[in-house]
Amino acid sequence: MSVADRIRIREIRLLSDDWYVLRKATFDWLRGDGAWQTVSREAYDRGDGVALVPYNRAARTVVLVRQFRYPAYSNGLDDLMIEAPAGLLDDAAPEARIRDEVEEETGYRLGRVEKVATCFMSPGAVTEKLWLYIAEYEPGMRAGQGGGVEVEGEDIEVLELPFSEAMAMIGRGQIVDAKTIILLQHLALTAFAGPVA
């Protein structure tokens, strides 16, 4: 039985359409025990996104960004967020969009990008699906300063870190962004697996 056979939408109500869209859905759900139950849930729709960690295998470094994230601040993070360059798809193909985002945020113009996964980060409340990537970079690929787009309110600092330091920052609670942790863990199992050269 598909999920479509287990749900009957009663109503979808628009609650907010400001920066992003918030909707409340009321629906009947066919439970595992065979009974129908009426449920209401809110879903925040901000569009789908992309994220990528550039890495240099020979130098054993990664490029991350640091910026202010109001939602994290409002939930107790009294620091700037360190994370993978990322952005919304805005109706673009994921590979094309992530190349543009990385260049806007870090200044690096990447070559080949490698898809790691497609996932939902907070499926209980947010509709966003993320395409996660990694890509090798070299110093000569730096085509600009990065820093984001000022008119979009971006004020981004570019960080080039030893991979070992980025991993230690996860353990110290300095990197708390889930997409970044996933990508760094992936690099630990792939590109940086094995002994240090």
pLDDT digits (tens, 9 = 90+) for 106-148: 999 999 999 999 999 999 999 999 999 999 999 999 999 898 8
| pLDDT band for position 195 (cuts 50, 70, 90) | low
Quote the pLDDT of residue 152: 82
| pLDDT band for position 19 (cuts 50, 70, 90) | confident
pTM: 0.93
pLDDT digits (tens, 9 = 90+) for 81-104: 999 999 999 999 999 999 999 999
User: In degrees, to the nearest 5, what angle opens at C-alpha 103 toward C-alphas 99 and 108?
Assistant: 100
pLDDT digits (tens, 9 = 90+) for 35-50: 999 999 999 999 999 9
Of 102, 82, 81, the C-alpha closest to 144 is 102
Quote the pLDDT of residue 27: 97
Quote the pLDDT of residue 186: 98
The arithmetic mean of pLDDT across residues 67-79, rounded, is: 95
Show me where the domains of the chain are located: 3-45, 49-189
Cα 87 from Cα 47, distance rounded (Å): 10
Quote the pLDDT of residue 196: 59
- For 174, which DSSP code? S
Is the pLDDT confidence value at 13 over 90? yes
Q: Is residue 44 within 8 Å of residue 20, measured between CB atoms? A: yes
Quote the pLDDT of residue 150: 86
Is the pLDDT confidence value at 197 over 60? no
Q: Is residue 10 within 8 Å of residue 27, measured between CB atoms? A: yes
Residue 126 is which amino acid? Answer: V
Sequence-ordered alpha helix ranges (H) in the chain? 70-74, 94-106, 163-171, 178-189
Q: Under CATH, which number does the domain 49-189 receive?
A: 3.90.79.10
| pLDDT band for position 154 (cuts 50, 70, 90) | confident
Quote the pLDDT of residue 8: 98
Average model confidence (pLDDT) across the chain: 95
Quote the pLDDT of residue 120: 97
